[in-house]
Amino acid sequence: MINLFSVIIFLRVGWIVGEAGIAQSIGIVCLTVLIGTTTVLSGIGICERCHLESGGVHFLLSHIFGTRTGGAVSLIYCFGQSVSCALHVMGFAESFSQVLDISNTWAIRAVGMGMIILLLGINLAGVKWVIRLQFGLLIILLLAALDLAVGTFIQVDVDHGVVGYNLENLKNNTGPDYTDNENWFTVFGVFFPAMTGILAGINMSGDLHNPSRDIPVGTLASVGTSFFIYMTFVVGLGATCQRWALHTDYMIAAKVSAIGVLLLAGLYISAMSACLGALYATPRIIQSMANENVIPILKFLGKGKGPNKVPIYSLILFASVTFIFVLVGSINTLAPIVTIPFLLTYASVEYAYFSLAMTFDIQKKREERYAEQGLQSPSFVLDQGRLAYGSTKENKVDADLDELFPERVPHHKRGMVHEGSSLSISATESPVTSPDEHSSIRSAESRNSQISINQPVDNISDQAKLYRNEIGSKRKRWYTIFCNRWVALVGAIIKVSMMFLVQWIYALSSLVIFLALWFYIGQVNPGSFRGIAEFRMFPWIKNMFYRCLGCKIMGYDQIIVAPNIPDLEVKEAQLTEDNVDYASRKRYHHSKTIENVPHPTHLESD
């Protein structure tokens, strides 16, 4: 909730209504919330169908797409968070400077840099201080929103353009009135950063007791509350303020509020809380990437201080980038720069859910194909005293094809072991780590399977313990009906399109940077995890095109095996020929040809 209260709400909603009018401003708010909601629903779908660990967006994308793609998108996301932090800092400095009647540009930037240093110290003090402070900030923010809502009914200040609720004024402000170089998309680009904190809950997945339960409830509740507050600001300012005041006065909301000091406190708190959240979550994402050695030269950023592993070096790097943008930008110039990386990240999250759902269908069809063929998989036996699930006395000596080919095992049986057995195979269980250890991606061994042998088995129970599957089916909850893969795919396409409509130069630059990072990570980290998603978009489009043409697509290779062994003559041959390059070595693992040569005495007798 705190991350959805942006300085944009306090400083730019009046300007947005002045430019776009009440009707189009409502459309901008609805579209922004819809974009954020589809991303949230995709993230919720991933959390419920896939195991989630600490690392937030980085773990989510890297677990599905692999370290290469996930790392590239995560770096762009961290950059967007840094610019967003600079935007909120500049909003705080701009408002604070107007109160103190400071007009010097460098003085305003100095105020912003001082705020960053203060919040940096709070983060270095530890996580507990951040959480305790944010609860108090949330109460002040809610009181500030209430202050504006009450002020629209009682406040009148004609000299500053505040006339109260007036039907004629409402009609005048309904339509758009764009100034030079402004249009619907540029105004949308300014408002969109208000929703850039939509993934704050997912980013704190490592600190939540039950992420799959807490993230959906908390995020959807905060989105609904924030949407109501956004609409209160848009309609309240549009109905009570004259157009010229909306165009020129960025502090018009403070003049409409019943108690101006309370709304200013909300403004300052919103900037502080947004920066505090970014300084808390984003450096930990960078720390997770460094610990996973995504980019070897950044490995030093994974070091932490104290029992909570506070990422000091990542914090310093993040704050340094924020300093740079504080020195070179303002709210209106920074807002489009913030919009593009977040749109790219949101599109990636939605495509990740679509890919995850399609992968589940691919695996399910493959399992059904194996079931139709009637393949029986014998069980893996470590020794005579230790048995895996499904093993019996009759098949102790058989090899386990399920271990060699895990796709043969149905998802509802994968990772199932008998209670009391010493062999534990889980497709998703991660190594036991400290809750304060910010490591988001498991090792390659633990992704495929985790086998732990503790003690011999005395007896095998008939009941089985089911561990979490790698990709599960949808859970039956009230919000899962909205977690639709096709909605996610359409949302991803819309977000990529809007990137170019908002600012095509920034959008093209972001895509070029993504491709460069993707290629670089692949070069420096060639053995990285490739992700659990098996779905590939271009082959799927090609197969769909062929189906539209009436062609039959098998989708998999078939091997025809003759029922009887053909009557063929087999000639034995030497397996390994002698080679002069290895003549000096002893003849280990060599074979030789033995020829039946007649004895010379036999030849003479003939």
CA 517/CA 75 separation, integer angstroms = 8
Q: Is the pTM of this model over 0.75?
A: no
Span 533-550, average pLDDT? 85
Could you give the angle at the alpha carbon of 31 between the alpha carbons of 276 and 260, nearest 5°? 50
Q: pLDDT value at position 469?
A: 42
Q: Which two tokens stand for residue 595?
A: 């020829």
pLDDT value for 583? 62
Span 477-504, average pLDDT: 86
Q: Is residue 216 part of a domain?
A: yes
What is the count of structural domains for the chain? Answer: 1
Mean pLDDT computed over 557-585: 60
Q: Is residue 378 part of a domain?
A: no
Other Cβ atoms less than 10 A from the Cβ of 284: the count is 28
87: pLDDT strictly greater than 70? yes
Who contacts 304 (Cβ-Cβ below 8 Å, separation ≥6)? 287, 310, 311, 312, 438
What is the average pLDDT across 417-446?
Answer: 34
Asked if residue 542 belongs to a domain, the reply is no
Question: Which are the contacts of 361, defined by CB distance < 8 A and separation ≥ 6?
Answer: none
- Asked which of 8-22, 190-204, 296-310, 566-580 is least confident by mean pLDDT, the reply is 566-580
Which helix (H) or strand (E) segment holds residue 148: the answer is helix 127-154
Q: Which residue has the higher pLDDT, 124 or 155?
A: 155
The tokens describing 200, both together, are 């704050």
pLDDT at 460 over 50: no
Average pLDDT over residues 48-72: 82
Question: Is the pLDDT score of 398 beyond 60?
Answer: no
Strand partners, 422: none
Asked if the model's pLDDT at residue 50 lies above 70, the reply is yes
Residue 212 clears pLDDT 80, i.e. is over it: no
Q: What percent of the chain has pLDDT above 70?
A: 71
Closest CA to 74 of 392, 517, 529: 517
Neighbours of 406 (CB within 10 A): 16
In this structure, the number of other CB atoms found within 10 A of the CB of residue 346 comes to: 28
CATH number of the domain residue 191 falls in = 1.20.1740.10
What pLDDT is recorded for position 364?
84
Q: For residue 341, is it within any domain? A: yes
Q: State the average pLDDT over residues 450-476.
A: 45
Other beta carbons less than 10 A from residue 44's beta carbon = 24
pLDDT at 121 over 60: yes
Return the closest-CA partner of residue 444 out of 356, 532, 352, 355.
Answer: 532
189 band by pLDDT with thresholds 50, 70 and 90: confident
| Residue 69 pLDDT greater than 50, yes or no | yes
Is pLDDT of 187 > 60?
Answer: yes
- Does residue 172 have a pLDDT over 80? yes
Residue 73 within any structural domain of the chain: yes
SS3 157: strand
Q: Give burial (CB, 10 Å; 0-12/13-18/19+) of 304.
A: buried
Domain that holds residue 274: 2-360+479-524
Q: What is the pLDDT of residue 347?
A: 93
Helix, strand or coil for residue 162? strand
Question: What's the pLDDT tens digit per position in 223-250?
Answer: 899 899 999 999 999 999 999 988 888 8
The answer to whether the CB of 202 falls within 8 A of the CB of 196 is no
Cα 170 to Cα 21, 148, 167, 215, distances in angstroms: 10, 17, 5, 39
Question: Does residue 442 sit within a domain?
Answer: no
**Over the Cα atoms of the chain, what is R_g?**
31
Residue 369 domain-assigned (yes or no): no
